[in-house]
């Protein structure tokens, strides 16, 4: 009888260990590292792209390239036409993609790395380039981008500072003309400046819209998108 009890206790211990191990195994989590941001390669930043394959008078095929990243299942490349602010997003598992692009047009592009497991992503820098058109000696500036106030921001009434950034592959920006209005298509010129900031006075309870016209030394111009902010 004593021997029987010992056998029962032995098997109970073995069973308990098995259950314990099973519970530990079932709660083990798989931890994956986050994806890393891609290093953009081509088209290069703030340059004219002359290496596309010409397919017509208006279009070229441009091969976008970026560095491979760790812990990444796929890439999402977003290319934006800076003239009309339209964007195209493409998902690929490779670190290059051939994109048909308009000639004589400024673009920006950014690559998002997607995690192997989960929803984590990492964004590269955003680069701008000018897709070459017919041979020409000068190029219009890239459209200005907002620094502050950011779109949708709420500000207190009184004097504010509008600030933006712009670039030109010819490096010959001459001045900026600033339009500010309560109309969503601003037409009121509040000043022209050679710097990237200007002061303005705004009233309480209104929504303001503004844009920047960038002019280079040869008279080429570009128009930013319309930015918007609210006043408390």
Residues 61-84 pLDDT 10s = 999 999 999 999 999 999 999 999
CA separation for the pair 206, 225 (Å, rounded)? 20
Q: How do the domains of the chain map onto residue ranges?
A: 40-131, 145-231
Same fold, 40-131 and 145-231: yes
For residues 162-174, give the mean pLDDT.
95
Query: Is residue 190 within 8 Å of residue 178, measured between CB atoms?
Result: yes
For residues 204-225, give the mean pLDDT.
96
Query: What is the dotted CATH code of the domain comprising 145-231?
Result: 2.60.40.10
Q: How far is CA 179 from CA 78, 146, 160, 225, 232, in A?
A: 29, 13, 14, 11, 21
* Structure-model confidence comparison of residues 162 and 26, the more confident one: 162
Q: Are strands 53-54 and 87-92 parallel, antiparallel or unpaired?
A: unpaired
Q: Does residue 200 have a pLDDT over 50?
A: yes
Asked if the 40-131 domain carries CATH number 3.40.50.720, the reply is no
């Amino acid at each position: 009888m004593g021997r029987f009890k010992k056998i029962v206790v032995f098997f109970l211990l073995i069973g308990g260990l098995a259950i314990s191990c099973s519970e530990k195994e079932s709660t083990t989590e798989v931890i994956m590292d986050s994806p890393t941001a891609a290093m953009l390669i081509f088209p290069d930043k703030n340059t004219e792209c002359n290496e596309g394959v010409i397919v017509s008078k208006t279009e070229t095929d441009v091969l976008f390239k970026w560095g491979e990243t760790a812990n990444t299942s796929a890439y999402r490349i977003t290319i934006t036409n800076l003239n009309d602010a339209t964007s195209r997003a493409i998902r690929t598992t490779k670190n290059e993609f051939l994109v048909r692009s308009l000639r004589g047009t400024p673009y920006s592009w950014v690559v998002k790395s997607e995690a192997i497991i989960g929803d984590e992503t990492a964004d590269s820098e955003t680069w701008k380039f000018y897709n070459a058109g017919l041979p020409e000696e000068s190029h219009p500036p890239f459209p200005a981008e907002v620094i502050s106030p950011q779109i949708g921001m709420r500000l207190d009434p009184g004097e504010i500072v509008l600030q933006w950034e712009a670039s030109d592959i010819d490096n010959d920006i001459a001045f900026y003309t600033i339009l500010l209005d309560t109309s969503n298509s601003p037409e009121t010129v509040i000043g022209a400046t050679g710097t990237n900031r200007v002061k303005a006075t705004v009233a309480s309870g209104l929504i303001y819209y503004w844009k920047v016209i960038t002019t280079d030394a040869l008279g080429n111009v570009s128009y930013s998108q319309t930015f918007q902010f609210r006043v408390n």
